[in-house]
A and B are shown apart, each in its own frame.
Chain A
Amino acid sequence: MTAETDTAPAALAVRRPGGRIDAALVTILAGALILWFAPVGMGRYGTYVLTLWLVMAIAVMGLNLTLGVAGLKSLAQAAFMGIGAYATGLLTAKMGLSWYPAFAISAVATFAVGLVVGFPALRVKAHYLAFVTLAFTSLVWLFLRNEQWLTGGTFGLPNIPRPTLLGTRLDDALSFHRFVVVVTAALTLMIWWLMRSPWGRAFLALRENPVRAASLGVDVRAYTLLAFAIGSAYGGMAGALYAPLVEFIDPSPFAISASFFLLLMVVAGGSGYLFGPFIGALLGVVLPEWLRFTGGLYLIIFAAIVLLLLIVCPKGVLGLAEQALGAVVRRFRRTS
C-alpha cells in the first residue's frame, strides 16, 4: 500500500526493486524437469509426438507474442517455420554446417524477414494485416514448392541430420527429445523475461490502445516491428528444430492451412497467456493422436472438441482457468 501524499510529485525517481521468486519461473523449470523424464516407457512414436508438441509450442509462443500480446493479426507463422526449417535443412544437409550455427542463422534470418513483413503492420490493421500475411505465406509456400533446384520442390529435402552434443549425435528419440526440452525451456524463459519487462508492457499497450500508447511516448513503429520480428524468429527457431526432428521436409507442413492451425492453437490455449501456447499445441498436436483409436472419425471428433471449447471458453483454456480461479478466490474472500 502506498502512502498518501498531498504535495506534488517532484521528479521521476528510479529505483531497482528487490528480487522475488516468480511462479511462472518455477513452473517453467518444474515443467522442463517433468518433460525430461516424461518419455520413459513411451516408445519411439510417443516420444516423437511429445517432441513435436514442444516444437509446435515454440512456433505458437512466437505467434502468441505477435498476436496474443501485441495484437497484430498475423497469418504468416507457418511461413516463418518453413523458412527456419529449410534454412536449417539446407545448411546442415547440403552444406555440412553444424546445427548450432544453422539454428542461429535461421533465427536471425526469420527475425530480419519478420522485420520486413512487419512493415505493412504499420499501415494496415486487423483483418487487412491478416490478408497481407496470408499472401506472404502463399508466396513462401510457392517458392518452397517451385524452386526445386534449391528446396527439392515436392520431392522435399531428405537426410537432415540431428544436432551433435559433446561429440555424440542425438539420433535416438529420447536424447533428441531432451535436447528439445532444454531449448524449449530456454526459449520460454526468454519470452517470460520479455513479457514481464517494460517491452512486454509496451506490447500490451499496443494491443489495447495504440493511440494512447503513442501519447505516452511508446514508439508504436519500433515496438510493432519488434513484436513481429521476435514472433517470426520463434517461428524460425521452431522450424530449425522441426527439420532435424522429422529428418525430411517438404513444403506441405508450411502451407496456409498450417498458419490457420497455429492461430487456432494460440486462441484455444489462451491468447496472451505465457503458457497458452503449450495448452494450444497440446490440443493441436497431442489430442488428435489420442483420438486415433476412433479410426477415421478422429478428425471429426477433434474438430467438434475444438468447436465446443471455443464456444465454452472464447478466451481459451487458460482464460477459463483464470475466470474459475477468480471466482474461487472471490468466494473464499467473502466467506472469510
Chain B
Amino acid sequence: MSAVLEVEDLHKSFGGIKAVRGVSFSVRKGEILGIIGPNGCGKSTLFNCILGQLDPTAGRVRLNGEDVTGLRPSDLNRRGVGRTFQLLQVFPDLTVRENLILAGQEHHGSMIGRLFGPRDAGLTASADTMIGFFKLDHLADAKAGGLSYGQQKLLDAAMAFMAGPQIVLLDEPAGGVNLTMLASLKERLRAMNEELGATFVVIEHNMEFVMSLCTRVVVLAEGAVLAEGTPAEVRANPAVMEAYLGH
C-alpha cells in the first residue's frame, strides 16, 4: 500500500537540546501506527513538528508524496490531516453538534460562500451521523463544556474525523479516560479503521491500548527511533524492554 505520511530524517533542537534526532517512518493507508516511548523522549515534539505547530530544524514531512514541511496547521488540516491534543480541546460554549459542524465547515466551499450559505454550512446531517457513530446522541444539543471528561474525549476524536481526513494523529487519546469509556473509544476507532480504512498515528502511554489497537509500533528513546515493528515484535525486543517497558 502507498504511504500517506512520510517523515524523513526529522530533527528538532531547542538551543543545545536535541529533542528529536533523525526520526524517519512512514504510515501506509489504512494503518494504525503507534508511537511510544518514555516521558521526555520527544513524542509530542515530533507530533508538533509534523503538524506545523513547530518548525523542524531539519528533515521533511510528506503527505501523499507532497512536501508539507512547515505548513500552517490550518493548511495541513485542509489537506486532510486531522488531530487531537494531549490536553482536551473542545469548544465548551458550543453544543456537541456545533463543535462537529465547526470541525467540518472550513472544508466546504469558499470563505465568502460560507458567509452567505446556510447557518450550519449544510453539515447538520453529517454531524448527526458522526454523533450517532460516537454514541453521543443524547448529548447532541448539550454544551460541550458540560460533558464528562470521557465524553469530551469522544467528541474530540469525532471532531478530528468530521472533515473526512486522510490521516488522523491522536495525541494520548486514552489519557484520563475511565475503562468503560476507553473501551468505547477504542472500539469506535477500530470501526473507523476497519469500515472506512481510516489511517491513524497514535501517541499513547497506555500500553494495552496501543498494543491492542495498533498494527505497527515505533518506539522512541532520547529523540531517536529505537525500534519498529508489529506489537508482538516490539514486545519481544530486549532494547525496548530495557528502555521503556522496564522488564
Contact = CB atoms under 8 A, between A and B. Distances in A.
B196 A216 contact: no
Interface in A200-240: 201-202, 204-205, 208-209, 211-220, 222
Contacts of B162: 12, 216
Contacts of A15: 122, 124-125
Contacts of B198: 8
A216 B77 contact: yes
Contact of A201 (B77, B98, B117, B135): B98
Interface stretch (A139-147, A161-169, A191-199, A256-264): A191-199
* Residue picked from B101, B114, B161, most chain A C-beta under 10 Å: B114
Interface residues of B, number: 59
A4 B102 contact: no
* Residue picked from B53, B125, B198, most chain A C-beta under 10 Å: B125
Given A8-B133, A8-B195, A202 B74 contact: no
Query: Interface range on chain A: under 10, 10 to 19, 20 to 34, or 35 or more?
Result: 35 or more
B19 interface: no
Given A12-B108, A217-B77, A209 B120 contact: no
Interface string A118-133: 0000000000000000
B233 interface: no
B105 A17 contact: no
A216 B73 CA distance: 8
A208 B118 CA distance: 23
A311 interface: no
* Residue picked from A2, A13, A211, A219, most chain B C-beta under 10 Å: A2
A1 interface: yes
Interface stretch (B28-36, B88-96, B172-180, B212-220): B88-96
A10 B196 contact: yes
Contact of B140 (A2, A14, A16, A204): A2
B70 to A, nearest CB: 14
Given A6-B191, A10-B196, A215-B51, A201 B107 contact: no
Contacts of B211: none
A13 B130 CA distance: 11
Given A8-B198, A197-B119, 5 more contacts: A1-B140, A3-B132, A11-B126, A13-B123, A17-B119
B196 A8 contact: yes
Contacts of A13: 122-123, 125-126, 129
22 contacts: A2-B131, A2-B140, A3-B128, A3-B137, A5-B132, A6-B191, A7-B191, A8-B196, A9-B133, A11-B126, A13-B126, A15-B124, A196-B119, A197-B115, A201-B98, A208-B92, A209-B89, A215-B82, A215-B89, A216-B162, A218-B74, A218-B102
B78 A16 contact: no
Interface of A: 1-17, 194, 196-199, 201-202, 204-205, 208-209, 211-220, 222
Contacts of A12: 104, 107-108, 123, 126, 162-164
A219 B195 CA distance: 31
B240 to A, nearest CB: 30
A14 B105 CA distance: 10
A204 B94 contact: yes
A217 B78 contact: yes
Given A6-B133, A217-B77, A14 B89 contact: no
B95 to A, nearest CB: 11
A209 B159 CA distance: 14
A220 B195 CA distance: 33
Given A12-B123, A218-B106, A5 B129 contact: yes
Contacts of A216: 74, 77, 102-103, 106, 159, 162-163
Nearest to B131: A2
Interface string B47-67: 000010100000000000000
B239 interface: no
A215 B83 contact: yes
A9 B120 contact: no
Lowest 9 A-B CB distances belong to which pairs? A14-B122, A217-B106, A5-B132, A8-B195, A2-B128, A217-B77, A212-B89, A214-B73, A198-B114
Contacts of B74: 213-220
A217 B85 CA distance: 15
Contacts of A5: 129, 132-133
Nearest to B197: A8
A231 to B, nearest CB: 16
B77 A208 contact: no
Contacts of B132: 2-5
A5 B132 CA distance: 5
Given A1-B140, A8-B192, A212-B89, A198 B121 contact: yes
B72 interface: yes
Given A12-B164, A198-B105, A202-B102, A211 B124 contact: no
